[in-house]
Amino acid sequence: MEYLCNCCPRMCGVVRGDTGQGFCGMGADPVIARAALHFDEEPVISGKTGSGTVFFSGCSLHCVFCQNFPISHEGFGRKVPASALREIYLDLIGQGAGNINLVNPTHFAEPILQSLQGGLPVPVVWNTGGYERVETLRRFEGLVQVYLPDLKYRRKDAAARYSGAPDYFERASEALVEMLRQTGPVEIGEDGRMLRGVLVRHLVLPGRSEESMEILDWIHDNLPGAWVSLMAQYVPMGEVEGVDQLSRRLRKREYERVVEHMLALGLEDGFVQELGSAEEKYIPPFDLTGVPECFT
């Protein structure tokens, strides 16, 4: 498999084949670090039987505080042929997965698009950092039922310093509007799991409560019918030493201020966390579970 890649806002324009020279560092075939049932997503995603999560390696952002650092920055994982993706999805569904949760899929849009042709018997979740091209998302209309994007930053300085993407908000805001256009308002099934819709995640960062409130303002004004997951699980990881206040944990009052603002805006459809949830136990082990060895 070989193709010219402009799938993310980096617009690298490189040919991806056995190896890749673009920002994500990945070749054409997917690289996967884990494919397993996951029970620690939001309840409407995990449900009672788990979410069938497929963790893709590489990334178009490279956030300094990334909690999946070994796979996003260091590329840990196993290469599989694009034709194997659908087999992995069906195996997870056979284990009881109520959806297929594609974690950080953007830079593998081409093989994933092939793998979803014909649809799946469960909803497909596009679990993304939010840094997307609208043109790429439009190719997935009707194939993805649930969008689970981050909205990390409102200000260019933070986006540039923490993720090397000063255009983050511009691209992410366009992308989230497109996601909502495709899915419409959130729909919940009889089992309490999300069938369609957009659930926007925002991780509150130390020292940036004001920016978090600006993000909630934008969601309130621009994404009617979307839900919000306001996360308190920040743990200093990755390359945060000396980067603003990222080397410390989030303070209780910082998070409480953002929660209060969220409720004042009437954003009551969604989730908040206890501050004590900031534990590394929520990071799954990236040990190649569910990635068959025969694909090496």
- Tell me how far apart the alpha carbons of residues 271 and 85 are, in angstroms, rounded to a whole number: 31
7 is in an annotated binding site: no
**Which positions ≥6 away from 149 have C-beta within 8 Å?**
126, 128, 129, 130, 132, 172, 175, 176, 179, 198, 200, 201
24 is in an annotated binding site: no
**Which positions ≥6 away from 160 have C-beta within 8 Å?**
166
Span between the terminal Cα atoms of the chain, in Å: 15
**Number of neighbours of residue 190 by Cβ within 10 angstroms:** 6
- Tell me how far apart the alpha carbons of residues 264 and 258 are, in angstroms, rounded to a whole number: 10
**C-beta of residue 155 within 8 angstroms of C-beta of residue 141:** no
12 is in an annotated binding site: no
**C-beta of residue 208 within 8 angstroms of C-beta of residue 158:** yes
Q: Is the dihedral of CA 158, 161, 163, 169 positive or negative?
A: positive
**Residue numbers belonging to the annotated binding site:** 59, 63, 66
**Residue numbers belonging to the annotated binding site for [4Fe-4S] cluster:** 59, 63, 66
